Structures are given as C-alpha cells and as structure tokens.
A and B are shown apart, each in its own frame.
Chain A
Amino acid sequence: MSHSNHATEQVLRSSGVDVRKCMRCGKCTATCPAFDEMEYHPHQFVYMVEKGEIEKLAASPSIYKCLSCFACVDRCPRGVEPAKLVEAVRLSVIRKQGQNHMSPDAIPALLDEDMPQQLFVTALRKYSK
C-alpha cells in the first residue's frame, strides 16, 4: 500500500511527522474548524501521505484552507500532528524551483482581511529563521 517516493520522503522529513503513529480515531477531523472548506480533511491528509499521494494533496485547495490553528496537533492522542503535514506539503509547493517567491517586506502591503491566515503564518515560519 505504502510506497516511498521522493516527494513523500521530503514531506515526512520536513514535517517531522510519523504517520504510522496514527490510529485512525478521527479526532483531528472532529476538531477541525475549517472542515467545511476542505476537500481533504486532516485524517485523510495523514492517510494520503502514508500512501504517498503527495501530488493529489499538493494540487488540492485544501492545503490553503487549513487555518494553521493547530487544534488537531494539540488534541491528537497519538501525537501525529496533521497540521505539520499540511504545512510541509504547502512548503513543497511554494519551494518549487522557478516559482515566484515572496519577500518578507512585501507582506504588510499584501495583508487584507480576506487573506487566508495560514499564508501569513507560513510566510512568517519560512522567513523567521
């Protein structure tokens, strides 16, 4: 079922998540405030990464709907941290060569109240180090 490929390995490495710890309880999806906006839900994220379906995830708008509120990370009884997978997939898309990259100075000008919060959080994470 699970086949390893480069993209999967990269997501697992950059997220630091052990998807095998998941016991499929669904508390992440139960707790997710952005559920209605998402095509794939937190528990599916974990399962899809385990199956190596990174491309499907990367192409889905779900990764931009995640609020990065980390409720799933906080409440997961197995310490799986689904939001970190979302983050890692998002980063893998953003970091593709030849893409347009954002400069931190450009962020304040771009802020508007309709902008998804996670974009801001992602940008901060990416440039804070």
Chain B
Amino acid sequence: MQRIGVFICHCGTNIAGTVDVKAVAEALSHEAGVVFSTDYQYMCSESGQQLMREAIREHRLTGIVVGSCSPRMHEATFRKAAAAEGLNSYMVEIANLREHVSWIHKDMKEATEKAIILGRAAIAKVHLNAPLQAGESPVTKRALVIGGGIAGIQTALDIAEAGFEVDIVEKSPTIGGKMAQLDKTFPTLDCAACILTPKMVDAAQHEKITIYAYSELEAVKGYIGNFKAQIRRKARFVDETKCTGCGICTEKCPMKKAPNEFNMGFDKRGAVYIPFAQAVPKVATIDADYCLMLKNGKCGICSKVCGAGAIDYKQQDEIIEREYGAIVAATGFNPIDAKVYGEYGYGTCPDVVTSLELERLMNAAGPTNGTLLRPSDKEHPHTVVFVQCVGSRCTETDERGKPYCSKICCMYTAKHAMLIREKYPDTDVYVFYIDVRTPGKNFDEFYRRAVEQYGVHYIKGMVGKVTQNGKQLRVQASDLLAGEQLHINADLVVLATAIEPDKTARSIGTMLTASMDTNDFFTEAHPKLRPVESPTAGIFLSGVCQGPKDIPETVSQASACAAKVIGVLAKDKLTCNPCVASSDELLCNGCSSCEKVCPYGAITYTDKEFRGPNRTTLIRRVASVNPAVCQGCGACTVACPSGAMDLKGFTNKQIMAEVDAICK
C-alpha cells in the first residue's frame, strides 16, 4: 500500500476562485492510502515545494498527488522537489485543477465536485505507479542546416564558431538565397551583395562548415541527438573538386537560351552556368534540360575548353548518409505567382513587374547593369506606380491570396520609391497603400523620408485594374482620402507580391515530422517562449520558413536558433523519457501490428528462444522496443491485439484505474 500525500494549490485565485480547495483537500484525505492532505496558496513557490518536501520526510510518503495547473507547466518542478527527498520522480501525479476545472467552469459547486473526482483519479493512478529510471542517449556533435540563404548561413556560422561541425544543404547551385538577388537593403541602403558575399565566403572557408550545394534532403530518420539523414547530391556534370570557376565554359557554351533564374528570367544564360560572379561554391553547373551534349550527344564544347578537365557528362546523382545531433530548417520563401491577379496585368503587360524583379532591374549586376529600363522597350520609365498588398492580407477563404501580412513589402517599396526618385528625379512615383506598416528601428523614419525628402506620392487606396494603353499602362485606382477614382498613365507598375514558404518546405516538414500551419510555415514549440524550436525535439527553425521577416530579424532569429542547437550539441548525453513502450514477450504473438503503426520506427521483431514444456525450446517471433527511439506516443499499445504492449508510466491498468475512479 502506498503512503500518498495530496497537495491542492490555490494558484492565487486562479483555482481557489472557482474551486473550494479546502473541501477538495478534506474530501481527498479520506481516500484509501492518503496519509496527508493539505492546500496551499502557491505550491510551485519555494515555500510550497518546501511544504511538500517536509511532508515526504515526516509522513514517509511513497506517492504524491498535486492538484494544480497543467502538468505541462509544473510537473517538472514537483518531480524535482520529490527527487530531492529521494522519492522517484515518477511517483508524482498531477490533477489538472486549473485548465481542466477552474478556468472552464463558473459554478463553484460543480467545479469542486469535478476537482475531487480528478483528484481521486490521480490517487488511483499513483497506487499503481512504479519508480522509473530515465535512460541516456549519446549526442552526435554535428548539425544539419537545410537551406543556404542568409538564415542558414548565419545559423551555420554561429554553430561553427562554437566549435561544432555543420553541414549546409542547399538545393540550388550556390548558397546566398534571396538576399543575393537584392539590390540595396533597408533602412540603411547598404548593398545586399556587399554585406552578404563576405558571409558566404566565411561559410565556405570555415573549417567546421561543409556546404552541399545543388543537393537536396532525401530522407531523415532518428531522433534528437541521433538523426540519420540521406542527402542527394544532384549531378552537376562538373567535378566540384576540379572546377576552378574560371567561367570559360559558360562563355563558350553555344546554347544560350536558358532563362536566367538569378535575373528573374529577364535575360538568358548558357546551358553550363555559374549563377552569379560571387557564387559559393564558385563551380559551374550544367543544366540537363538545355545541354545539347546531354540531350542529343552533340556538342561537347565545354569539355574541350575546360583546362581543368572538370566536365563529366556521365556524372550521376549521389546519395550520401550523415549523422546529426540537431537539424535546422531554413528553407526560406518565394514570392507568390502574380499571374493569378489578372486585373493587374502581370504576365500580359510586360511592364508590370514584381518587386523582386525590380530588384534585378535596379541591380548593378543585373540585366540592365543597374539602369532602370522598362522591360518592353528598354526605355526609361517616367511614371512608376507601386501596388501594395498584392496577395497579402486576404480573407481566409480567398483562393488567390494569403491571409497574413507579408511584413517586408512596406519597407522595400519605400526603398524602391526612394532609390528611383534619387537616381531619376524626373520620375513620378506613386505608392498605393492600404496601411503603411513600418515598425522597426529607424523604419518609420525611413518611410517618412521617402515622402518628405524624396517626394514619393503615397496614396491611401488601391489599384483596381491595369490595362495596356498603347506604349503605356493605364492604372485605375482609388484615392480614399480624396474620395476620387484616379486614372494614371504609367510606364512601369510594380506589384508588392505576397511571400509564401518555399514549395519544398512541406515535404521537408514531413520528413522531419515537424508540424506546420495551414500556410506551410513551420510552427514553433511556443509562439512566444520557444520561437526557434519546432515541437519535434531536435528540430530548429531559422528565417522565413517560420513566418515572414526581414533581414535584421532573420539574422537575429538565425543566431537564436544557433544558440538552441549549441545547447543540444554541447551535451554529451541526453536524458531520455522513461515513459516508453515495452512488450511482454510472453504475451506477444508476433503479429507486427505495433511495428506497422509506430511513427518513429522504434519497434523491431526478433526470433527468440523460449523454454517450452518438457525441457523443449521454442523459437518465437516477438516485438522489442528501442527505448531511445520510442517517444511514448502509445499508438502500439492500442494496436496490440494481445495486450502485450504497454506504456511505462501510463500502463493499461493505470489508465483503467483512473477511469474507474472517475466513474465510481
């Protein structure tokens, strides 16, 4: 028989305001096995814990029931207090009297009754509790970062600086991500390439960082501290170890019809290409969709001109396997396809462009060498109209847009407007906005500068439609403050398109068993207090894959993410959860049901010898659980037809005892 102590917490008035805590403590004191029962204002406080510890000593308690807040909140606190008195942590049970009772009920009588019932259930469970010992698992001291944009680069650099190995997996031929395509960065207007490319080089040169560019994550197995990842190194048809990045092949390639993704398709590149001059790794890649040699075996010019002998038309995809202690998702974003907004003329009028396209049209390394020329006739535009919130802030059921604010558009549009007015003072610039959202250090000042110093026309209203009108674009818009409808003849229209998570995020999220929201952004373990961790242990979040953010925010979050990863990698061993499944081999009938439902691959079957009647031995196929891999979800215990599978700490008997106590 257990000697049980019951402790009912007031939680200030959180519980005591709706539950008669004294009556609960009194009622529970009469339960079988209860030798001590009391209530206290704050059980989680130092003095509350002291009260529990003294009771354990004085009354030689073997089990504890705390009626308090959710176990998610303070179970660890009370387990620690019990352990300090030599009582096994797993002899502590929580009856959730706050979230399950006081916060959701109004009537005191009803609430008190329910609190007593939940207390009884917890007591019934404690009677069957057994001490459990937490095991340990080793930690592989290496991290994997998925995505090589500014978020991934910063996270990798910080982890590497702390002395741990990091691998970056990037699906495109170079790291750098979206930031590499930008012209200037707000609010300081420093050139994106000037601040990013040194970081790319730092990452490439760091002895602890390995960059797997032009590679994709293929599969992930395992758990925190012990992940196994398969990485597909896509065939570049160029030997990375031999290529010097001289670029002769890219010049001599006769096939010049491939759209240049880096310049948003405004110009063409060769079938063999280096995305941009500062690419890291600076290695050529052959685009198999365009290469004449790979398509029909005729050409081979790049191979002839390559002095290093790096071209290898026979190269195959290669799958490598690596072990990691922690994995970082830094999969980034893309602008949505503006073609769905037919009324704005994108895709039909060549002079309607997206903001990311404008970045390239204004970039010194872009297709126009930094001179702003409109795509249709390469003329300098004299009237430019910016449209905000294209696909952002739509209603939940909208088929074309996103319900969230993309956060970065107000600031980059102010930047674009300002830069155009500075370079070309003869240009009229209009910005149609719903709200101008500029929270951030020096952000609102920046926007006001665009209005006051640079004379950008900010108009509260929206563009309704854009049509081609001869060489110009006719923009029909509203000016809500003036109560007018405007018709503007514009030369260039720029759409601030919403951003969305990269298309690969969903499949990567599935591989990592990391949860995502309806917009495919990764969800955090806690939106305020654990913003860079996924609810799945060992998976961390960096950059826009978690939600829209600008560069300063992305870099801060990337470093925060690195700190969390370092926290894992710095440990030699991780404590495992002892509440794992175990199989009773004598009951197991070898049906494999549990193995099929286990989401973690923790169950294996082995042939084992058993003693049979008359000194015979029987060989039977039985399940065994790897306690380091098991996460204690309990799916197998439900699937097992013979009742052989049980979850430690939540055994079938314990659960039934609780149900019985509730139904009594």
Q: Smallest CB–CB gap between A59 and chain B, Å?
A: 19
Partner of B393, one of A31, A32, A41, A77: A77
The one of B389, B432, B464 in contact with A75, judged by C-beta atoms closer than 8 angstroms, is B464
- Given A30-B463, A32-B464, do A23 and B485 touch, yes or no (CB 8 Å)? no
Q: Does A26 contact B460, Cβ atoms closer than 8 Å? A: yes
In the complex, are the beta carbons of B434 and A32 less than 8 A apart?
no
**Using a CB–CB distance below 8 Å, which chain B residues touch chain A?**
343, 389, 393-395, 397-398, 401, 432, 434, 460-465, 476-478, 480, 483, 485
B480 engages A29 (CB within 8 Å): yes
Q: Mark A87-115, 1 if CB is under 8 A from B, else 0.
A: 00000000000000000000000000000
A–B complex contacts, Cβ < 8 Å, 26 sampled: A23-B393, A24-B434, A25-B389, A25-B434, A25-B462, A26-B460, A26-B462, A26-B478, A27-B463, A27-B464, A28-B478, A30-B432, A30-B463, A30-B476, A30-B477, A31-B343, A35-B485, A36-B485, A41-B478, A41-B485, A43-B478, A71-B464, A77-B398, A77-B401, A78-B394, A79-B397
Cα–Cα, bound, A31→B462 (Å)? 9
Minimum-distance CB pairs A-B, first 5:
A31-B464, A30-B464, A30-B478, A27-B462, A26-B478
Since A30-B477, A41-B478 are in contact, a sample of 16 more A-B pairs with Cβ atoms closer than 8 Å, ordered by chain A residue number, is: A21-B395, A24-B480, A25-B434, A26-B462, A27-B478, A28-B478, A29-B478, A30-B432, A30-B476, A30-B485, A31-B465, A32-B464, A41-B485, A71-B464, A78-B394, A79-B395
Contact of A26 among B393, B397, B461 (CB under 8 A): B461
Q: CA–CA, A27 to B395, complex, Å?
A: 14
Residue of A nearest to B465 (CB): A31
Chain B residues whose CB sits within 8 angstroms of the CB of A41 once the complex forms = 478, 483, 485
- The interface residues of chain A lying within 8 Å CB-to-CB of B461 are 25-26, 29-30
* B432 CB contacts on chain A under 8 angstroms: 30
Residues from chain B with a CB closer than 8 A to the CB of A44 are 483
**Chain A, interface size: which category?**
20 to 34
Q: Write out, one digit per residue, whether chain A residues 23-63 have a CB within 8 A of any chain B CB (1) or not (0).
A: 11111111110011000010110000000000000000000
Binding site for B on A (CB under 8 A): 21, 23-32, 35-36, 41, 43-44, 71, 75, 77-79
Minimum CB–CB distance for A16 against chain B, Å: 14
> Shortest Cβ distance from A33 into chain B, in angstroms?
9
- Whether A29 contacts B485 in the complex (CB less than 8 A), given A75-B464, A77-B401, comes out as yes
CA–CA, A30 to B485, complex, Å?
Answer: 6
Q: In the complex, A28 Cα to B477 Cα: how many Å?
A: 9
Chain B residues whose CB sits within 8 angstroms of the CB of A32 once the complex forms: 464, 485
Kindly provide the distance from the CB of A61 to the nearest chain B CB, expressed in whole angstroms: 17
A42 nearest CB neighbor, chain B only: B478
Q: How far is the CB of B469 from chain A (nearest CB, A)?
A: 16
Q: Roughly how many angstroms separate A75 CA and B340 CA in the complex, as a whole number? A: 11
Residue ID in chain A nearest B460 by CB atoms? A26
How near does chain B come to A35, taking the closest CB pair, in angstroms? 4
Q: How far is the CB of A87 from chain B (nearest CB, A)?
A: 20
Asked if residues B480 and A26 are in contact (CB atoms below 8 Å), the reply is yes
Taken together as a complex, chains A and B put the C-alpha atoms of A79 and B476 apart, in Å, by 20
* Distance (whole angstroms) from the CB of B537 to the closest CB of chain A: 39
In the complex, which residues of chain B have a beta carbon less than 8 angstroms from the beta carbon of A23? 393, 434
Which residue of chain A lies nearest to B402 when distances are taken between CB atoms in the complex? A77
Which residues of chain B are within 8 angstroms of A24 by Cβ–Cβ distance? 434, 480
- A residues within 8 A CB of B478? 26-30, 41, 43
- CA separation between A35 and B486, bound complex, in Å? 10
Partner of A77, one of B394, B460, B465, B476: B394
